[in-house]
Amino acid sequence: MSIALLDDPGGSPETAPDALAGFTIGVTATRRREEFCALLERRGARVVRAPAIRLVPLAEDADLLAATRAGLAGPIDDVVVTTGVGFRGWMAAAEGWGLSGELAAHLTAARLLTRGPKARGAVRAAGLNDHWTPATESCEEVKQYLLAQDLRGRRIAVQLHGEPLTGFVAALREAGAEVIEVPVYRWLPYRDTSPLRRLISQAISGGVDAVAFTSAPAVLAMLAAARADGLEDALVAAFAGPVVAACVGSVTAAPLRARGVPAVQPERARLGALARTLARHLPEHSVTRLVAGGHGLEIRGHAVAVDGELKPLPPAPMAVLKRLADKPGHVVARSELRTVLPGGPSRDSAEHAVEMAITRLRRALGPSGIVETVVKRGYRLACDRGEGR
């Protein structure tokens, strides 16, 4: 999928500078990673960088060279150009192989169907004429456009965009076309998988509030890495529960939705729009608001706002606060609080660990009276029972 980074002005609640303050977001992107992370950090997010995939260098890609030669073996009737960056890379690689003139001649004689404005711009920048671009910028509309015609005997080159277009290609072949798949760039797992595996563990344990995906191969790579460690079901359950899976578009979201994960996505496949979607969604759906001890609390991923002042919390105090907030006004036993502490302290040290977490929580909150001790029973947030959301 071709992704543009739009200007990202503030001025609305979802784009406020602190909209993501207190939240932790995992980013799996490789291309334009730092730009996207900057958009999230600008809004106050804590970002965990865990690249999931890497690109195969075009000049070294034997599959691309073989596909190019296969296309040049005869006239090409149609070329489906899915991404601008991919098309430019294909032309540059052909020049390096000494095939640029021959490829340009074939493309000049063909109908060039461009999936969106960036693909169309790349075609025109190469001095070629585009034939048609769908209004929806989707491969599905391109497929329907072609299937509405007689494709028997036509040779169609389909420029892939990082992942196979299995259904697209199969439909054209069933209609009688000869299809040459052109893998202009291919994704492989990132060489160092340790950041991704740590992110998987954080997602399962609740250490991140959301994971952002900008390509379907990154989704598949994360699921594959989890599967290799026997954690795929746990990761899917986390995405189907407390951890938000945010995808730049429907193609990226497809592998998650196939597993029942309700991914959120912007209306347009743009990084800026994805950042704004997260900045709107997390404060609306991942914040607990209540009044305790006369003070307004807004509990976020790794921080709590007390009367509007954001206070970061270490994992243990935050885990205790979230469990107390699950039952506002009700007493929560020490034995129950012990179960939420990170690391699972031994029975001998559990009571001390709970007391330390409560002490640190009270110190971080500031005003007294928010967390009450109920002798021989446990602790409670000082608010009316059932108050908060």
Could you tell me the pTM of the whole model? 0.73
pLDDT along the chain (389 residues), means of 10: 39 64 94 90 96 77 91 97 90 92 97 95 96 92 97 96 85 97 85 96 93 92 96 96 92 90 90 94 93 94 93 93 93 92 65 91 92 93 66
pLDDT at 347: 55
DSSP 3-state of 85? helix
Q: How far apart are CA 332 and CA 382, in angstroms?
A: 12
| Secondary structure E strands in the chain | 24-27, 46-49, 53-55, 78-81, 111-114, 155-159, 178-182, 187-189, 210-213, 244-247, 288-292, 295-299, 303-306, 309-312, 371-374, 378-381
pLDDT at 348: 53
Q: How far apart are CA 82 and CA 169, in angstroms?
A: 13
Strand order in the sheet with 78-81: 111-114, 78-81, 155-159, 178-182
Q: How far apart are CA 114 and CA 91, in angstroms?
A: 15
Report all structural domains of the chain as residue ranges with CATH numbers, in order of start. Answer: 14-55+189-285 (3.40.50.10090), 58-185 (3.40.50.10090), 288-381 (1.10.10.10)
**Phi, psi of 186, deg, nearest 5:** -120, 150
pLDDT at 345: 53
Using H for helix, E for strand and C for coil, what is the string for 14-33?
Answer: HHCCCCCCCCEEEECCCCCH
Q: How far apart are CA 286 and CA 41, in angstroms?
A: 18
